[in-house]
Structure 1
Amino acid sequence: MSKVAKAALGLMAATLIAKILGFGRELTLASAYGASSTSDAFLVAMNIPAVIFTAIGTSLGTAFIPLYCEVNSSQGEKASIKYTNNIFNVVVLICIVISIIGAIFTPQVVKLFALGFKGETMEKAVYFTRAMILGIPFLGISYIMMAYLQVKENFIIPGLMPVPYNTCIIISILLSVKTSPYILPWGALIGLLGQFLFQLPFAMKKGFIYKPYINLKDEYLKKMLWLVAPVLIGVAVNQINTIVDRTIASTLVEGSISALNYANKLNQFVMGMFIVSISSVVYPMLSKLSTENNKVKFNQSIVKAINIVILLVIPISVGAIILSTPIVKILFQRGEFDARATYMTSVALVFYSIGMIGFGLRDILGKVFYSLQDTRTPMINGAIAMGLNITLNILFVKFTNMQLAGLALATSTAALVTVTMLFTSLRIKIGPFGGKSILLVFIKAIISALLMAVITTIIYRKVSYLLGTGTMKEIITLAVAIGVGAIVYATSIIVLKVDEVNLILNSLKSKIKRS
C-alpha cells in the first residue's frame, strides 16, 4: 500500500475517533441538561467562535501550505520556519483584536445568532459566549499548527485535534451538574487551548521552533493574505447556501429544517470520514509537486485522488439512496423522532446522495487549484454554483411540488454543475491530465454500484422477511445487506480490473510473499 494510502487510512481512523467522541459530547450534554435554557445557551456559545473563525482558520491553513512549500523549496528550512513564525504571530495578534471586540459587543453578537433569547437564557448565553470568545486566539494558532503538521506529512495528529476539546467539554459538563452550569464555557475554553497544546510537541518534533518574529512587509505574508481572501469567499458561499436552504425550509411544512439538517449530517459524516481525509493528505503533496514543477507526477496524483474518491463515494451514494429509510430509522427514530420525521429525513437523504460525488470531487478539485496558488477559479465557480442553487431552490420549491426534496436536489445539482465547471477550468489551465482514465473508472464504479444495488435490495427484503421487525432485527438486516453489498461491489471492481484496486492487491500479495 502506498504512503499516501496509509496516511489517508490513518486520518480516516483518527477522524472516526474524533467524531465518536463528538457524538459522546452531544449525548452527555443531552443527558445532563436535556432541551433546556442552559443547553440552548451553551450550544449557541459554542457555535459563535466556530462560525467566526472556522472559515478564516480553514482559509489560512489552505493558503499556508503552498506558500510554505514555495519558501522551503526556494530558501530552505530556516526561511520556512521564519515564515511559519511570522504567520503564527500575525494570526495571534489578529485573533486577540477579534476576541477583545467580541468580548465588548457580546450581547449584540449573541442577538445575531439567537434573536429569540430573553431573560435568563440570554444572560447565560452572553456569559458563556464572552468566556469562549477569549479562545479565538487558541483556535487560530491550532489551524496554523494543523497546516504545519500536514505539510510535514503528519496527518493523524491534526485528525485527532478535536479529541482534547471534546474531552474537556465532557468533563466540564459532568462537573457542572454537581457544581454550577457557569463552568461549562471554561471547560470549552481549556479545550480550545488543549487543541493547540496537543499538536505543539509533534510540530516541534518536525522542526518547528517558536520565535517572537513579526514582519508585516514580508512578501509571503502579503501573498498569503491575497490568497486567503478568495478562499474565505468560497467558504462563505457554502455557508450562504446553507442559510438560504434553511430559510426556504422554514416556509415549508413543520420539521423541514430538522429533516434537512439530519440528512445533511449523514452526508457530512461521509465527507469528513473519506473526502476530507483524502484531500488533506493529497493537498500538501500536490503543493510540493507544483512548486517543483513536476507535471507528470502532479497529473498522476490528481487522477489517483479523483479515482479513489469515485470508487469510495459512488457505492456509498447508491447505498444511501436504496437504504435511506432503514438507515435513518435505525439512527434517529426514537422518542419525538417519529415515522413522519424518518420519512422526511430519508427523502432529503436520497436527493443529497445524488450529488454526493459532486460534493466529494468539488473538494478535491478545489485543493488542486489551491496547490497551483489559484484561489480565484474555485471562488468564481462557487459563486456561480450559489446563484444556481438559489435559482433551483425557488424553481423546485415554488413551481413544482417537490418541497423538501427540491431543496436537497437543488444543492446536489449545483454541486454536480460546479464539478463539471472545475474539470473544464482545470483542463484549460494545465492541459490534458488523465480524463479518459477518470471516465473509465467512473463507468466501472457505476456498473459495480448498480449490480450492488440490485443484490443489496434483494438481500435486504429477504432477510427482513425472515427476521421480521424489532430494533435488533432491523439492525442485523441492514448490516447483512450492507455487508453483502460491499462484497459484491469489491468483487465487481476487482473483476473489472480497476487500476487503483489492483495496486492495493499487488501490494498485499507482495507483503504476504515476503512474510
Structure 2
Amino acid sequence: MKKNALIIMLITTISQILGFVRDVTLSYFYGTSFFSDAYLVSTTITNVVYSFIMLGISTSYIPIFRRIESNFGIIESNKYTNNVASFILFISTLIFCISFIFVESIVKLLASGFNSETIEMTVNFTKIGLISIYFTGLVYLFSAYLQLKDKFIVPALIGIPYNLVIILSIFLSYKISSNIIAIGIVVSSMIQLFLIIPFLRGAGYKYERVFNLRDKNIKQMIFISLPVIIGSSINEINIMVSKAIASQIGVGAVSSLTYADRLVGFIYGLFIMSIVTVIYPSLAKMASVENIAGVKKALQNSILSIFLLVMPASIGFMILNDSIVKLLFGRGAFDDKAVIMTSQVLFFLSIGVLWIGIREILTRVYFALQDTKTPVINASIAVIINIILSFILSNLLGIVGLALANSIAAIICALLLTYRLQKRIGIFIDKNLLISLLKISFSTFIMALIVKYTFSLMQILLPHNLGLILSILIGGISYCLLVWLMKIELVKETVSNLFMYIKKS
C-alpha cells in the first residue's frame, strides 16, 4: 500500500502542477473578472450535476464487485461491471436532459448576483459542458475497476492530459472564441476515457452490452448508493450555496474563492486522495471478512499519514499565503486586489484542510462497513452549520467569512464521525497514535518557525520569489529531519520500505 501511495503521489504531483498551470493560465488571461466567474460557476454546476451520483455509484460498486468476484468469479463480476456501465449511460442521459432544460433557472439560482451578460455566458458554458457527463461517468467506473485490480497508476495518470487540454482551451478561448473554454472540458473528459479503455483489457475486462435494471446487484448498488449520493449532494449543495453567496459579495469574489480552493485542493488531491484511493479497496476487503483489527490498524496508519503530510502543508499555506498567491497568480490580469482577496481566503480555507482529510478517510471506513447512513447524517449537520455560519460570517467578514465557515464545518464533521466510529469499532485513537500525532504537531511548529524567519531573511538578501522557494525547501528538509529524529514508527517503516524498493530496482 505504501509503495502504491508514493507512486500515486508522484504522478498526482505532476498532475497538480499542471492544474496550477491551468489556474495560472486562467488567472493570467482573465484574472478575477466576470468571464472567470462565469466559467468557474459553469464548471461547478456541471460537477454538481453528475459528480455526487457517480461518486455514489463508484463507491458502492467496489464492495459489491468484491463479493461477486469472491463468490462467483471474474466472469460474473465483469458482467456486473458491464451492467453498471449501461446503467451509468442511462442515468447520464436523464441528467443531461433535465439539466439542459432547466440550466438557466439553475444558473440564476446559483449566481443571483451576476448581471445579465454574465448569466448568459454562464448558461452557454454550462450547456456545452453538460456533454462531458457521459465520458466522466464511465471514467469513474473504469477507474474503480482498475483500482480493484491493484492498478492505481493509470487512473492517476489521466489527470495529466485532462489539464493539458484545458490549458490549451483557455489560451484558444482568449485568442479565438470564448466557447472554446467550455468545449475544452468536454474534449478533456473524452480523452480521459479513451486513454483508460486500452488498460481495461489488460486487467481482464471485456465490454459486452448488458442492461438489466432488475438485476439484484444493480438494485443493491442503488440501495447502497442512495445515502452516498445524498451525502455527496449535500456537500455539493454546500459548494453551490458558497458560490451563490460569493456572487452577491461582488465581481471577482467567486474567482478568488475558487482560486484559493484550488490551492487547498493541491493538498487534497496530492496527499489526501492518494491515501484514500489506495486504502479504500483494502478496507472493503478487510471489512468483508469482518477483520475489524485490520480495519483499525489501517485507519490509524491513514490518520497518521494524513497528519504527517497535510499538517505541514496547510501550516505552510497559512504563514506564506500572500507570497504563494503572488508567486502563482500575481501576473497578467490578476492584480494586487485579487492577490490580497485570494490570499486571505486561502488562509482561512487552510485551517480546515487537515480535518477534511480525516473526514474523508473516516467516511471510507463507514462505506467499507456498508454503513452509509452515519456519514450522511453527519454531513447534513455539518452543511447546515456551514450554511448558517456562511450567512453570518460573510456579512461580518466578507468573502473570508465563507472560507472560515467551511473550515469550522469540516472540523465539526470530522469530530462527529470520529466519535461515532469509536463507538462502532472500538477505540482507535489510542495512546501510541496520540503520541505520534503530538510529535508531528511539534515538528510542524518548529518547521513553521524556521520557514517564517528564513523567509524574512531571504527577503533582504534575495528576490521575493527565489527567497520564497528556498524558504519552502529549507522548511521541507527541516521537517523531514525532525519527524525522523522523533522516531515515528510509520516514518521509519516508510523510509525502510523505500530503500528496499530502490535497492531491488
SS of 1:154 mapped into structure 2: coil
- Whether 1:420 aligns to 2:415 is yes
**1:186 to partner: Cα distance:** 5.4
Change (3 A) 1:197 1:105: same
Determine the C-alpha separation between the residues in 1 that align with 2:254 and 2:180.
Answer: 31
**1:179 to partner: Cα distance:** 7.6
Aligned letter for 2:488? Answer: V
Determine the C-alpha separation between the residues in 1 that align with 2:123 and 2:197.
Answer: 31
Q: Percent identity among equivalent residues?
A: 38
Aligned letter for 1:317? Answer: S
Summarize deviations over 1:307-364 as a string: whole Å, max 9, x none: 1001011111222222222212222233454444433333322222222211111111
Aligned letter for 1:456? Answer: V
After superposition, residues 222-233 of structure 1 pair within 5 angstroms as 222-233=219-230
Aligned letter for 2:194? Answer: L
After superposition, residues 326-341 of structure 1 pair within 5 angstroms as 326-341=323-338
Q: What residue in structure 2 maps to residue 470 of structure 1?
A: none
Q: What residue in structure 2 maps to residue 83 of structure 1?
A: 80
Determine the C-alpha separation between the residues in 2 that align with 1:342 and 1:35.
Answer: 10
Q: What residue in structure 2 maps to residue 445 of structure 1?
A: 440
TM-score (normalizing by structure 2)? 0.88
Determine the C-alpha separation between the residues in 2 that align with 1:121 and 1:240.
Answer: 19
Q: How many residues of Structure 1 are paired with residues of Structure 2 in the alignment?
A: 504
Change (3 A) 1:83 1:437: farther
Q: What residue in structure 2 maps to residue 455 of structure 1?
A: 450
After superposition, residues 103-182 of structure 1 pair within 5 angstroms as 103=100, 122=120, 129-169=126-166
Determine the C-alpha separation between the residues in 1 that align with 2:54 and 2:273.
Answer: 15
On the 8 A contact 2:148/2:281 being kept in 1, the answer is yes
Q: 2:404 aligns with which of 409, 422, 439?
A: 409
Q: What residue in structure 2 maps to residue 7 of structure 1?
A: 4
Determine the C-alpha separation between the residues in 2 that align with 1:68 and 1:266.
Answer: 35
Q: What residue in structure 2 maps to residue 74 of structure 1?
A: 71
Q: What residue in structure 2 maps to residue 495 of structure 1?
A: 485
Q: 2:232 aligns with which of 207, 231, 235?
A: 235
Deviates further, 215-224 or 96-105:
96-105
After superposition, residues 184-203 of structure 1 pair within 5 angstroms as 188-203=185-200
Q: What residue in structure 1 maps to residue 59 of structure 2?
A: 62
On the 8 A contact 1:73/1:291 being kept in 2, the answer is no
Q: What residue in structure 2 maps to residue 466 of structure 1?
A: 461
- Whether 1:299 aligns to 2:299 is no
SS of 2:150 mapped into structure 1: coil
On the 8 A contact 1:310/1:441 being kept in 2, the answer is no
Q: What residue in structure 2 maps to residue 269 of structure 1?
A: 266
Q: What residue in structure 1 maps to residue 388 of structure 2?
A: 391
Change (3 A) 1:348 1:134: closer
On the 8 A contact 2:32/2:253 being kept in 1, the answer is no
After superposition, residues 240-319 of structure 1 pair within 5 angstroms as 240-249=237-246, 256-319=253-316
Query: Which entry has the higher C-alpha Rg, 1 or 2?
Result: 1
On the 8 A contact 2:33/2:252 being kept in 1, the answer is no
On the 8 A contact 2:31/2:335 being kept in 1, the answer is no
Q: CA RMSD in A?
A: 3.3
Determine the C-alpha separation between the residues in 1 that align with 2:355 and 2:459.
Answer: 32
**1:132 to partner: Cα distance:** 4.3
Deviates further, 25-34 or 458-467:
25-34
Determine the C-alpha separation between the residues in 1 that align with 2:31 and 2:501.
Answer: 52
Deviates further, 309-318 or 179-188:
179-188
Summarize deviations over 1:49-73 as a string: whole Å, max 9, x none: 3331122212211111122112222
- Whether 1:357 aligns to 2:347 is no
Determine the C-alpha separation between the residues in 2 that align with 1:304 and 1:370.
Answer: 18
Q: 2:430 aligns with which of 435, 441, 457?
A: 435
Determine the C-alpha separation between the residues in 2 that align with 1:175 and 1:262.
Answer: 21
Summarize deviations over 1:260-310 as a string: whole Å, max 9, x none: 333222111211111011101111111111112222322211111111001
Determine the C-alpha separation between the residues in 2 that align with 1:118 and 1:248.
Answer: 17
Aligned letter for 2:468? Answer: L
On the 8 A contact 1:38/1:121 being kept in 2, the answer is no
Change (3 A) 1:225 1:483: same
Q: What residue in structure 1 maps to residue 50 of structure 2?
A: 53
Structure 1, unpaired ranges of 5+: 468-472
Higher RCO (C-alpha under 8 Å, 6+ residues apart): 2
Determine the C-alpha separation between the residues in 1 that align with 2:304 and 2:142.
Answer: 30
Change (3 A) 1:34 1:479: closer
Determine the C-alpha separation between the residues in 2 that align with 1:439 and 1:141.
Answer: 41
SS of 1:293 mapped into structure 2: coil
